[in-house]
Amino acid sequence: MGTQSESNSLLYFLGLVLVFTSSVSANLKEQDKDRIIKLPGQPPNINFSQYSGYITVNQKAGRALFYWLIEATVSKRPATRPLILWLNGGPGCSSVAYGASEEIGPFRVRSDGKTLYLNPYAWNNEANILFLDSPAGVGFSYTKTLNDIYTVGDKRTGHFLFYLKYIDKKLSFVELHVELSRVV
């Protein structure tokens, strides 16, 4: 279980998510810059959209977190489906490299190591999934300040700033139900 401080931070964050999501306006140009048209080895004719990129959480320290958003399948009307934020446990376990690729993501890697196939049990069959490599230094997320890798307290701050900036910059969902998930 988390500490009282972590619980309070989470409640504060969830309150802010509700405030921000109620006033989110679609910034489609910005969102399209991060759209993934096709991954190498991806099967043809997938029925969901994907986005990935970096959100800077500390300009001065050169700290940015990498995300991969996989929308719910088109037939489920993604804008009406919940958003699941997936954070793999650590230390150092990438949500993209493990959570998306080995657990709940839409693709699996074939034995040839070059091509992908659809995961019939992918969670995006029912919800939008946001995989976040966190903290800085894990997976594709990075920092230009070596000491950041050892600073545990920054993790919560980085997550919080990421959420706010992500919601402001990327999401086009007018009504949003957020689920937070992590593996410990």
Domain spanning 4-182 has what CATH number? Answer: 3.40.50.1820
User: What are the extents of the domains in the chain?
Assistant: 4-182
Point out the residues of the chain with pLDDT beneath 50: 1, 8, 12, 15-16, 18-26, 152-154, 174, 184
Q: Are strands 107-109 and 178-182 parallel, antiparallel or unpaired?
A: unpaired
**What pLDDT is attached to residue 156?**
57
**What pLDDT is attached to residue 176?**
53
pTM above 0.85, yes or no: no
Task: Tell me the C-alpha distance between 70 and 144, whole Å.
Answer: 28
Task: Tell me the C-alpha distance between 127 and 31, whole Å.
Answer: 19
Q: Strand pairing partners for 65?
A: 55
**What pLDDT is attached to residue 151?**
63
Q: Residues with Cβ < 8 Å from 172, sequence gap 6 or more?
A: 24, 26, 27, 28, 31, 79
**What pLDDT is attached to residue 142?**
87
CA distances to 90, 135, 168 from 151, rounded to whole Å, are 14, 9, 26
| Tens-place pLDDT, residues 92-145 | 788 888 889 889 999 999 999 999 999 999 999 999 998 988 878 888 888 888
